[in-house]
Structure 1
């Protein structure tokens, strides 16, 4: 199996996330990946997939993933049935961090218990 085939799920995820300026080359059995993720959250998703396939320190892959918008951790479009605590658990692993999401969105939210589908929320850097 080629190293590119091994890491194909990473490349597929990069396409799904619309990573900009993507460049993939293979040299001497090492896959080199370069690109720009929209947010730190998307960059983390790419790295998590790399580690899932190649371990914590893969020797057959070098990646240089930058982030275009460092002012936020991510931007989230609310779906039906979601709450701030559910969103906080998804991004931070801690539902109690809903307060930070609320504070970052007081321009559109008046009550942390009331959010609506299709609202775009800032998920702040912690």
Structure 2
């Protein structure tokens, strides 16, 4: 149970993104197996592992199936968010904000006007960075 405790933060992120996971310790590794709704959810779990657990390669095995291939993910707008900020946080380049805007033209009329609580579709990383 030591690894379960050490990776409690990762299991909390999995819970917060709505992942359906099971975890168990086996042969000195924590096995996390399950399903996530979008690739973005999977990536947030991996980001937590890599950011907080320097020995993760020796301690954890993750097997997550992605249920929905498109969109890359969904994001609920929070206070202070802008499309540029989201593009930087998600894709690593704030200049990619037009890709998010294009994916959400059904609900956005202006890339400078997003509202708290809106649920935005995130284009796949391959499209956003193309």
TM range (shorter): 0.7 to 0.9
Q: Which runs of 4+ in 1 moved over 3 A?
A: none
Tell me the matched-pair count: 124
Q: Normalising by structure 1, report the TM-score.
A: 0.85
User: What residue in structure 1 maps to residue 11 of structure 2?
Assistant: 11
CA–CA separation in structure 2 for the residues paired with 1:76 and 1:4: 28
| Structure 1: gaps spanning 5 or more residues | none
CA spacing shift, 1:122–1:34, aligned 2, 3 Å: same
Higher helix share: 2
State the partner residue of 1:110: 109
Question: Match of 2:128?
Answer: none
- The 3 A distance-change label for structure 1 pair 82 and 27 is closer
Q: Counterpart in 2 of 1:78?
A: 77
Deviation at 1:89, TM superposition (A): 1.6
Q: Please report the RMSD computed on the Cα atoms of aligned residues, expressed in angstroms.
A: 1.9
User: Structure 2 stretches of 5 or more lacking a match?
Assistant: 126-130
Give distance in 2, aligned partners of 1:117 and 1:4. Answer: 35
- Rounded to whole Å, the distance in 2 between the matches of 1:42 and 1:62 is 17
Q: For the residues of structure 2 that align with 1:8 and 1:80, how far apart are their CA atoms?
A: 28
Secondary structure at 2:62's aligned position in 1?
strand
For the pair 1:121 / 2:120, whether they are aligned, the reply is yes
Q: Which moves more between the two structures, 60-69 or 108-117?
A: 108-117
Report Cα offsets for 1:36-70 as digits up to 9, x if no partner. Answer: 12221111111122223144x61222110121221
Q: Which residue number in structure 2 is paired with residue 89 of structure 1?
A: 88
Greater gyration radius? 1
Structure 2 residue 29 is the aligned partner of structure 1 residue 30: yes
